């Protein structure tokens, strides 16, 4: 009987398994989706993607255009800077665009609001035309507060960022940000809850990138100035940052150094969350300023981060750049090896950069496609496998335990080890045993009519080996009781599974005969 018991233990409990190789995320390319060249894009309520380019658009997650309205920006050339867009939690849409004028004499800067019901109910100019006021920004925060921005360059190439708060019929100046911007570079601003985050760069030969944040309202400029953090990894003309705010207040930013792109992370109060900025892209092809050009986005919880970069063609404008991408599943701490998306874009001397928008763990890339002569969209889903057992969270019923996964050995431990929706299946009494097993310190069952007993739990037929064949032989804690052959086999299997990270061999689970 011991031989039969041992055979059952080996066949029924020893499981070899082939873990599927973790599939590399695959991009889907939707092709050209909207008109224009320069763009800004954000996610709004109901997971709609809002875009402003030469027109205003709303897209669903598949790239289908749901709204197409003539409320865009007329400056769409490759050397123009993009317009700006923000969408409120109430569904209101806010855009800032440039009209008329020139870079030398200044543009008319225009603010428009789309009411949540769909009508454009605010439309006015703010500020005055000044030299190089071509970089614009907008953010929405609770209150609601809508903040507007425009660059201002004096007689030299260095200048300021003017901040305003939008009212019903005009915008009120609330202060300037000095020393953090210069001509030929841009800045970005985004809002969340009652906070506003802003990134900017000074693309001098030894440049600096800045991050600042503050509470929405009249003191925003003062608070941003007081909170400024400088980022100086790499060398060269550090500039051209991008910023993305996740749904829990994490602030993700990328910025360029000489032929490189770095990643940094802050919280909404301005605290740095990593022990140093991370190098994501290196050895990028150049253009006139050699600065790495990028975009970034993060999942709602901030653990999954995607970045794209332009691999320049060494032309003055980065006019035929390859698009590269990389991703992180631990909040930007470590990154995948960059890969080529197989698409070409026009960098516009740093002014025509892509945008990334995240919806959960699914990311949408919007970019100028040289082959399609328009703004195209691509998408990718990043599946997270936190316990590195070969199954992402969408398939793994416990992605914190690497011994639990579809197809794992089902042990008598009160856990759904194999993710089939059942617990401890196969641990019952196939020959009529009660399944109670011996009580702690009890005697083995003696065979006969199956009954339940805390003192040994008489098993069914052939139960003279303590119920190992006829019953589960589990302790009150749900694990095999010590001393038996089954206990040591289960223990060995469990220890082996615990030590496994990515198993590579397999055989099918046996069947009780």
The residue range of the domain holding 212 is: 28-381
Ramachandran class of 236: left when φ > 0, alpha when ψ lies in -120 to 50, beta otherwise: left
Residue 430 lies in a domain: no
Residue 494 lies in a domain: no
CA distance 51 to 80: 17
Q: Are 494 and 412 in contact (CB under 8 A)?
A: no
pLDDT score of 130: 87
Residue 23 lies in a domain: no
Gyration radius of the chain's alpha carbons: 30
Q: Are 362 and 62 in contact (CB under 8 A)?
A: no
pLDDT score of 407: 84
Parallel/antiparallel/unpaired status of strands 305-311 and 294-298? antiparallel
Residue 34 lies in a domain: yes
The DSSP-derived string for 18-72 is EPPP-PPP--EEEEEEE--SS-EEEE-GGG-EEEESSSEEEE-TT--EEEEES--
- Global pTM value: 0.77
Residue 196 lies in a domain: yes
Give the three-class secondary structure for 202. Answer: strand
Structure tokens at 365: 């890339």
pLDDT score of 123: 98
- Residue 239 Cα distances to 46, 272, 294, 391, angstroms: 33, 19, 10, 39
pLDDT score of 399: 73
Tens of pLDDT along the chain (513 residues)?
444 334 334 434 433 444 455 578 999 999 999 999 999 999 999 999 999 999 999 999 999 999 999 999 999 998 999 999 999 999 999 999 999 888 888 899 999 999 999 999 999 999 999 888 899 999 999 999 999 999 988 778 899 999 999 999 999 999 999 999 999 999 999 999 999 999 999 999 999 999 999 999 999 999 999 999 999 999 999 999 999 999 999 999 999 999 999 999 999 999 999 999 999 999 999 999 999 999 999 999 999 999 999 999 999 999 999 999 999 999 999 999 999 999 999 999 999 999 999 999 999 999 999 999 999 999 999 988 777 666 766 677 887 888 888 888 888 988 988 898 889 888 865 444 444 444 444 444 444 444 443 344 444 444 333 333 333 433 333 434 444 444 344 344 444 444 433 333 333 333 333
Residue 165 lies in a domain: yes
Other Cβ atoms closer than 10 A to 497: 20
Positive or negative torsion for Cα 414, 416, 421, 426: negative
pLDDT score of 468: 34
Give the three-class secondary structure for 4. Answer: helix
Other Cβ atoms closer than 10 A to 127: 20
Q: What is the CATH number of the domain that holds 347?
A: 2.130.10.10
Residue 119 lies in a domain: yes
Residue 41 lies in a domain: yes
- How many domains does the chain divide into? 1
pLDDT score of 357: 98
């Amino acid at each position: 009987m011991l031989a039969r018991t041992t055979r059952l233990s080996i066949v029924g409990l020893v499981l070899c398994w082939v873990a599927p190789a973790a599939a590399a995320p695959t991009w889907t390319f939707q092709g050209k989706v909207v008109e224009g060249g320069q763009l800004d894009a954000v996610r709004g309520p109901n997971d709609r993607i809002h875009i402003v380019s030469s027109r205003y658009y709303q897209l669903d997650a598949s790239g289908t255009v749901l709204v197409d309205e003539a409320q865009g920006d007329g400056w769409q050339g490759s050397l123009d800077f993009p317009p700006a867009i923000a969408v409120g939690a109430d569904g209101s849409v806010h855009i800032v665009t440039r009209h008329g004028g020139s870079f030398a004499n200044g543009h008319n800067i225009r603010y428009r609001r789309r009411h949540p019901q769909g009508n454009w109910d605010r439309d006015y100019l703010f500020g005055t035309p000044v030299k190089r006021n071509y970089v614009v920004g907008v953010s929405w925060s609770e209150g609601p507060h809508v903040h507007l921005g425009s660059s201002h360059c004096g007689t030299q190439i260095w200048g300021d960022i003017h901040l305003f708060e939008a009212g019903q019929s005009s915008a009120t100046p609330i202060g300037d940000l000095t020393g953090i911007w210069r001509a030929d570079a841009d800045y970005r601003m985004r809002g969340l809850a009652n906070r506003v985050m802003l990134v900017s760069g000074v693309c001098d030969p030894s440049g600096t990138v800045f991050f600042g944040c503050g509470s929405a309202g009249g003191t925003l400029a003062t608070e941003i100035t007081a909170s400024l953090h400088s980022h100086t990894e790499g060398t060269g003309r550090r500039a051209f940052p991008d910023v993305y705010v996740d749904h829990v207040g994490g602030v993700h930013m990328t910025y360029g150094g000489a032929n490189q792109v770095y990643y940094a992370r802050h919280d909404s109060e301005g605290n740095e969350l990593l022990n140093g900025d991370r190098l994501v892209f290196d050895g990028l092809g150049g253009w006139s300023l050699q600065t790495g050009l990028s975009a970034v986005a993060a999942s709602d919880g901030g653990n999954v981060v995607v970045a794209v970069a332009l691999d320049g063609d060494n032309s003055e404008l980065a006019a035929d750049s390859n698009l590269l991408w990389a991703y992180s599943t631990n909040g930007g701490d470590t990154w995948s090896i960059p890969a080529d998306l197989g698409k070409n874009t026009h960098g516009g001397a740093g002014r025509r950069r892509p945008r990334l928008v995240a919806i959960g763990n699914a990311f949408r890339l919007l970019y100028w496609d040289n082959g399609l002569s328009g703004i195209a969209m691509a998408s990718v889903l990043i599946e997270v496998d936190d316990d590195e057992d070969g199954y992402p969270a969408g398939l793994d019923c416990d992605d914190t335990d690497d011994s639990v996964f579809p197809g794992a050995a089902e042990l008598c431990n009160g856990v759904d080890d194999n993710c089939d929706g059942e617990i401890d299946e196969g641990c019952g009494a196939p020959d009529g045993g009660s399944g109670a097993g011996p009580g702690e310190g009890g005697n083995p069952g003696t065979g006969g009519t199956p009954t339940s007993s805390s003192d040994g739990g008489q098993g069914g037929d052939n139960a003279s080996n303590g119920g190992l064949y006829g019953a589960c032989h589990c302790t009150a804690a749900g694990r095999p009781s010590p001393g038996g052959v089954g206990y040591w086999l289960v223990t060995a299997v469990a220890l082996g599974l615990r030590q496994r990270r990515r198993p590579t061999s397999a055989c099918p689970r046996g069947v009780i005969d």
